[in-house]
Structure 1
Amino acid sequence: MPQRIVDRRGFLKDVGVAGAALAMGPLLTACEPEGGGGGGAGGDGPIRIGGMWLLSGALSAYGEFAREGANMAVEELNDDGGVLGREVEMLFEHEGDAESVLQVTRRLALEENVDFLMGLDSSGTAQALVPAIPELGKVLMVTHAASNEITGELCNRYVFRCSVNVPQNCYLGAQLAAEEYPDLQTWGTIGPDYAFGYETWEFFSRYLQERNLEVSVIDPIYPPFPNEDFSSHINQALDARPDGLFVSLWGADLVNFVRQAQDFGLFDQITPIFQLGAAMEVLEGLGNEMPTGYWAGTRYWWDGIDSETNQRFVDAFRERYDHPPSYNAQCAYTGVMLLAAAAEEAGTTEADPVIDALEGIEFDAPQGPTVIRAEDHQALVEPTWGKLADSPDEDFMILDPVVHAPADEATPPVGETNCEME
């Protein structure tokens, strides 16, 4: 299917609004009483989007960043005339665990009658939900959960992802490990004890050994998730003494781990690289406690994309919220805009025409040119890593330099993803 290039400015102009002014008004979170939304495909009431992220608990910073990005996108759209001449409303729910997310999703789809679903922070939660989406007949845009299986073995016609996935992130991480640390011959990992931790080690270790045949790996260390005390796992790593340590912990777990690892002197003895160490949720949480000079990955870095689209987004976000956007904020923003662009192209919010519009679409997002691959619905987007460095302007560590890998190189071919689209 040929790609259709859509940028935000062109999209808003095409639907009959001049310019693309970025609104700075109050948050828009339209949660109406049950059954009172007036949404639903093909209706003339508001277009309703049900967003599900981690909005409570130790990982709630991720959900709050997503809420900010989604709200900003919705308000921009409404200030410029809405979508299909209709106002857009955003409903937010805590995604919870693998069991509760099914209940939340069914309520949004069947009782709140949302037109679209989006979000999901946890790969484990996403893996539980994705197979149930076709029976609801709603398009789901995954904005964070990174498991390869979401657009791989579990892929289906209704599910899309607009963000970097595990293999894309690990491709660049392994490249940096091989090129920056060629003398580190033994590698281990500390990662969360669920799908995300398992997949990251699978892809990182494979890509690393493909680049350096001399590298050996030790048994992985998988603390429970979530977790607060990492002392036994740090001691386990110190006893094994690999040369390099691939850390795929994230959120509050990574914050706790870094603090405890510093106390144990772990980084003085083993060189770490942090798969998601450049998440704003982690950098703001650690401040000057984050060690500098090590490589850290992220899904998007606000100061790492040299484009008008990104600069416009970052300036508006910082003016509105008084802090830079995280990758979760950017991905939520991009997810809303992609759904809006697809609905405009389809001329409806009905699932089948919107799916056809999303397949193969190319969108000028803050994270850079983003193509939704038609065959598996995975975004082709450049992964981002950088070296942790002090900043004279921020009260958290930044990335300097920032590096990317071409999306077509970092993304496994469809034939290797085990996606069989029905």
Structure 2
Amino acid sequence: MLTKKWALAGATVALLALSGCAGESTGSDGGGDADPITLAMVAPLSGAFADTGAQIGYGAQVAIDEINEAGGVLDRPLEIEKADTADGAQASVQAIRDFSADGNELIFGELSSANCLALAPLVDELGSVFITTTCTNDDLTGHDGEPAPYERFFRVGATSEQDMLALARTMHDAAPEVTTYDVFAFDYVSGHLQWEQFSTELAELGMQLSADVQYFVPLDEQNYTSQISALAGVSENGEKRGLYLGTYGSGTSSFINQGEQYGLFDNYDVVVNSGSYWPIATSLGGAAPEVYNGYDYNYLAYDSDANQAFVDAYTALAGTVPDTWGYQGYLAVKAYAAAIESAGDVSPDAVLDALKGISFDTPQGEYTIDPDSHQGSANIVVTHTVGNADEETGVEVLESYVIPYADTLK
């Protein structure tokens, strides 16, 4: 069920006045001279997806500053230590080993589900604790009534299934006449799984769905001209046709820029994308195509003091409004802070026990990590946007929905 329709046609947002580069953190250190509590972060900090790691880090730092300005946790300030995992699963595993060896055993982050699937059993083996911000693979936490597959692994971002069910149900209502989809997606576990979940849900809703042309490309590929040329050829005379775009980050940006040269998006009735699309859309200078996007967060989604405070603090620090990746970094730190405070202890075992069932306040309201599945109660926000140079952000929000966590499950 789609609830709380919040978007407005032609919505504009007044951003904070910014000067120079992104701001430095100025939060005071809670706890005076007390030794800080170190949280370890792993994410791609270089390479094609460095922007993702940067945004996770900005969101985490906003939470750190907020908590430290309020006195810290157990009268001690929080701090972050980071490791770059842009080189893939082996780099992620090594970072976990290094942090654990150094005694930094409360760890969060990661973008790639392949990396998370590699590190999750290691975290159990080493006795550390890990909260993934962004890995979406359903098998990382419990689902369909099953308990968590890993004792010491938790997630604050939404699962692949949540995102795809919400997006498919929205498209069923918004564009029921579109029954043929072409597919362009990354060639990795979640890339294939998400298309399967999206198409299966549409079929279960009664649509006679057909997938015509499908391309799955390597994560590090950036030249898509041959695939785009082929898509433009098959879609040129198509009616009631959609494009499923299963990419994120620089891959989405490259695809859109290259696709515009072929007039590709004029050939489709709808374009759907999962993942953090908003920063891509705003970077296109008002030229973003019309897209339906589903993910955990949009900064316009919640009309609350808590959300506005988060947006303001993030914008001051990063020089731009937050996207989902930044929001997920914020959630991970807030979850650790709440668990440490509840446990009265920073030892991994104590924090592990406290994380199970922990609740804390967030921009979306009260947020809870399920004690059995280890999955956080992430909502899904589906936005329908198009580029508009007259908007301050360069993007016009045509309509959007906040879909509560309970309504994103099977």
Deviations 1:346-389 (A, max 9, x none): 11122233222222223221244322122211112211111113
Partner of 1:226: 220
CA deviation digits over 1:224-265, x for unaligned, max 9? 112111122223434554721211111101001011112122
Identity across the alignment (%): 27
| 2:94 corresponding residue in structure 1 | 103
| 1:158-198 deviation digits (Å, cap 9, x = unpaired) | 11111112111111110122111111122232110001211
Query: What is the aligned counterpart of 1:265 among 263, 266, 288?
Result: 263
2:92 maps to a residue whose letter is V
Residues 171 and 207, structure 1, Cα contact 8 Å, conserved in 2: yes
Q: Which has the higher contact order (CA 8 A, sep 6+)?
A: 2
Alignment of 1:279-358 (within 5 A): 279-292=277-290, 294-358=291-355
Query: What is the aligned counterpart of 1:382 among 364, 379, 386?
Result: 379
Task: Say if 1:342 and 1:129 are closer, same or farther in 2 by CA, change over 3 A.
Answer: same
CA distance in 2, matches of 1:52, 1:252: 19
Letter matched to residue 199 of structure 2: S
For 2:124, the equivalent position in structure 1 comes to: 134
1:9 corresponds to: none
Read off the aligned partner of 1:323 and give its amino acid letter: T
Q: 1:367 to 1:155 in 2, by over 3 A?
A: farther
In the alignment, the residues of structure 2 paired with residue 358 and residue 398 of structure 1 have an alpha-carbon distance, to the nearest angstrom, of: 39
1:62–1:281: 8 Å Cα contact kept in structure 2? Answer: no
Shift of 1:152: 4.3
Distance 1:321 1:130 in 2: 30
Rounded Cα–Cα distance in structure 2 between residues aligned with 1:47 and 1:209 = 49
Q: Aligned-pair distance for 1:93?
A: 1.2
Summarize deviations over 1:45-87 as a string: whole Å, max 9, x none: 3211110111111211111111111112112222222111222
- Aligned-residue CA RMSD (Å): 2.3
Q: How does 1:1-12 map to 2 (within 5 A)?
A: none
TM-score normalised by L of structure 1: 0.82
Distance 1:308 1:299, change over 3 A: same
Equivalent-residue separation in structure 2 for 1:189 and 1:62 (angstroms): 23
Tell me how far apart the structure 2 counterparts of residues 281 and 61 of structure 1 sit (CA, whole Å).
Answer: 10
Q: Which amino acid aligns with 2:339?
A: A
Aligned to 1:274: 272
User: What secondary structure sits across from 1:222 in the alignment?
Assistant: strand
Please state how far the C-alpha of 1:321 moved relative to its aligned partner. 3.3
Mapped to 1, the partners of 2:139 and 2:289 lie a distance apart of 32
In 1, Cα distance between equivalents of 2:130 and 2:161: 21
Question: Alignment partner of 2:96: what SS?
Answer: helix
Return the match for 2:109 from 89, 112, 119. 119
State the shift of 1:393 in Å: 4.6
**1: CA distance between counterparts of 2:289 and 2:242?**
15
State the alpha-carbon separation in 2 of the partners of residues 342 and 282 from structure 1: 34
Alignment of 1:406-417 (within 5 A): 406-412=404-410
Amino acid at match of 1:83: V
C-alpha distance in structure 2 between counterparts of 1:386 and 1:278, whole Å = 11
One-letter amino acid of the counterpart of residue 208, structure 1 = L
For the residues of structure 1 that align with 2:26 and 2:41, how far apart are their CA atoms? Answer: 15
Counterpart of 1:316, as a letter, is A
Residue aligned with 1:286, SS: coil
Q: Which amino acid aligns with 2:155?
A: R
Structure 1 runs not aligned, ≥5 long: 1-23, 31-43, 413-422
Aligned residues: 373
Structure 1 CA distance for aligned equivalents of residues 285 and 389 of structure 2: 11
Instruction: Check 1:64–1:27 CA distance in 2 against 1; reply closer, same or farther (3 A cut).
Output: farther
Where 2:300 maps in the other structure, the secondary structure is coil
Matches of 2:104 and 2:357 in 1, distance apart?
24
Distance 1:381 1:26, change over 3 A: closer
Residues 1:400 and 2:398 aligned together: yes
Match of 1:67 in 2: 57
Counterpart Cα distance in 1 of 2:248 and 2:325: 13
CA distance in 1, matches of 2:115, 2:275: 22
**Corresponding residue of 2:5:** none
Does residue 244 of structure 1 match 2:242?
A: yes
The one-letter amino acid paired with 1:186 is T
2:37–2:77: 8 Å Cα contact kept in structure 1?
A: yes
Query: Do 1:47 and 1:114's aligned partners in 2 also have CA atoms closer than 8 Å?
Result: no
Amino acid at match of 2:58: E
Structure 1 counterpart of 2:352, one-letter code: I
User: Shift of the alpha carbon at 1:217?
Assistant: 2.8
| Structure 2 gap segments, 5+ residues each | 1-22
The corresponding residue for 1:255 is 253
